A and B are shown apart, each in its own frame.
Chain A
Amino acid sequence: GENVEQHPSTLSVQEGDSAVIKCTYSDSASNYFPWYKQELGKRPQLIIDIRSNVGEKKDQRIAVTLNKTAKHFSLHITETQPEDSAVYFCAASKGGSGNTGKLIFGQGTTLQVKP
């Protein structure tokens, strides 16, 4: 079945440093890869996503890269700030008929940004 592995499970960085979170997926038919941020006690919220026909996407301080051959994708946060502290989830979905409801999440990465 589909599987998404996320690493590391915890990450601690100094304010201003960069943070990188990596995910691998098992299903070569996956075609949509979102990233969600969840602050303590709150709901997950989408921060960036990428589709399989794109290799990289950037939005201000965050970027996502996708390597379809290796079946992995990464989240990059530059110039980290204390408000970036949260749990980050990657996910992968399958398109096509019969699979349009299955978005599978990684286990999450707890990012701590130290002031």
Chain B
Amino acid sequence: DAGITQSPRYKITETGRQVTLMCHQTWSHSYMFWYRQDLGHGLRLIYYSAAADITDKGEVPDGYVVSRSKTENFPLTLESATRSQTSVYFCASSFQGADSPLHFGNGTRLTVT
């Protein structure tokens, strides 16, 4: 779905550094989500947002910070990256929350060395 884009596609960073993953959608969907994907764990919800300035924790929020000052953007920040945060990160959006279809971005593959 070209309406939701993530950047960068690939990122390598060092332990302790701050890194921000970007997510932008053009559908004006109210809801946006961040998931991480690791082998054996499927997709785990990090944070989600129901609207601008409204965010809430998911299953694995520790070590992450989100903000949503505009409806179309939902950046995810790792304030001090750790090796355990090496993963593929997917942003998604939906019109009506988690009980309507999610549209995923292409993902960001993050490696923390």
Contacts and interface: CB of A to CB of B under 8 A. Distances in A.
Interface in B31-46: 31, 33, 35, 40-45
Contacts of B102: 34, 36, 44, 46, 103
Nearest to A90: B42
A100 B104 contact: no
A95 B102 CA distance: 15
Interface residues of B, number: 28
B104 A93 contact: no
A93 B98 contact: yes
B42 A101 contact: no
A61 interface: no
Interface of B: 1, 31, 33, 35, 40-45, 48-50, 56, 58-59, 90, 96-102, 104-107
Given A43-B1, A44-B43, A95-B99, 17 more contacts: A6-B42, A43-B104, A43-B107, A46-B101, A46-B102, A51-B99, A89-B42, A99-B98, A101-B56, A101-B58, A102-B48, A103-B33, A103-B98, A103-B102, A105-B42, A106-B42, A107-B41
